[in-house]
Amino acid sequence: MREILGRRRRLRRKGGPAQLDAALICATAWRWPVLPGVGSAAVGPRGDRGCACPDPECAVPGAHPFDPGLLAATTDERMVRWWWANRPTAPVLLATGGRAPCAVSLPAVAGASALTALDRLGLRLGPVVATPTRWSLLVAPYTLERLGELLHAKDWVPSSLRFHGEGGYLLLPPSEAGTGQAHWERVPGPGSAAPWLPDVEAVLDALVEASTGAPDGGSRLAY
């Protein structure tokens, strides 16, 4: 990662939080629109960590936009620096879709099985984000119409499989949210340009098969 690391050194603040560094790499080197997540806050008499938003039943604690909203996502370096100067530990969120990557997420156990199956097929994968509860495979941008066609051709799509397309978002490493720390299970490839991404069609069958029978976790997304 010689070129990326070189840019990382130029952008890094000495001793600064890793979130700012990650947000700058995404926004300025890869041209991925990002924004800060709401983050977590102490809740309850024991000081347990919950979402900093007003919703006590938040489905994605700490890992969603709040202020600013999703439409504020940007690749502007000055805006990114200002956001994380004010909230240094805020989670880094990628606004998916459009010209930005999309993603498909599934329960962590199913995600590990899917990667094993895809590796066995010799399929080239892009970056993969892992949290303690879910894994997310980044894929090339797709439209809702294209995704609809692919899903319509399937006999059944597990509800534990979720799609992050236009109007969606994804928690990026090294962010921490209510379910724990996010990390790269598959690190973005070398080079100063945006990481290579597979087409969603190439990975969909393996993800559907791996997600069959995986626990859905109810209505809580638990990213």
Considering only CA atoms, which of 74, 77, 78, 50 is closest in space to residue 64? 50
The mean per-residue pLDDT over the stretch 168-173 comes to 96
**Where are any strands of DSSP class E within the chain?**
34-36, 40-43, 48-51, 92-96, 102-107, 128-130, 134-139, 162-164, 168-172, 176-177, 180-181, 183-186
Please state, rounded to an integer, the average pLDDT across all residues of the chain. Answer: 86
Is the pLDDT confidence value at 96 over 80? yes
Is 102:141 a contact under the CB 8 Å cutoff? yes
pLDDT of residue 178: 81
Contacts for 157-161 with beta carbons within 8 Å, 24 or more apart?
157/208, 158/208, 158/211, 158/212, 158/213, 158/214, 158/216, 159/216, 160/106, 160/107, 160/110, 160/211, 160/214, 160/215, 160/216, 160/217, 161/104, 161/105, 161/106, 161/207, 161/208, 161/211
pLDDT band at 125 (very low <50, low <70, confident <90, very high): very high
Quote the tokens at residue 147. 């995704």
pTM, whole model, 2 decimals? Answer: 0.85
Name the nearest CA neighbour of 86 among 23, 177, 6, 179: 23
Mean pLDDT confidence for 179-191: 88
Helices (H), ranges, the chain: 2-11, 18-24, 77-86, 108-120, 144-152, 200-211
- 205: tokens are 């069958």
Tokens of 171: 């928690």
Provide the residue ranges of all domains of the chain, joining segments of one domain with +: 2-211
The pair of structure tokens assigned to 206 is 């393996």
Question: How large is the average pLDDT for residues 114-120?
Answer: 95
Residue 38: pLDDT over 50? yes
Rounded mean pLDDT, 209-215: 77
Task: Kindly calculate the radius of gyration of the chain based on its CA atoms and give it in whole angstroms.
Answer: 17
Instruction: Decide if 30 contacts 195 (C-beta within 8 A).
Output: yes
Report the alpha-carbon distance of residue 7 to residue 118 in Å, rounded.
31
Give the number of other CB atoms < 10 A from CB of residue 157: 16
Residue 49 binned pLDDT confidence (cut-offs 50, 70, 90)? confident
The pLDDT, as a whole number, for residue 10 is 42
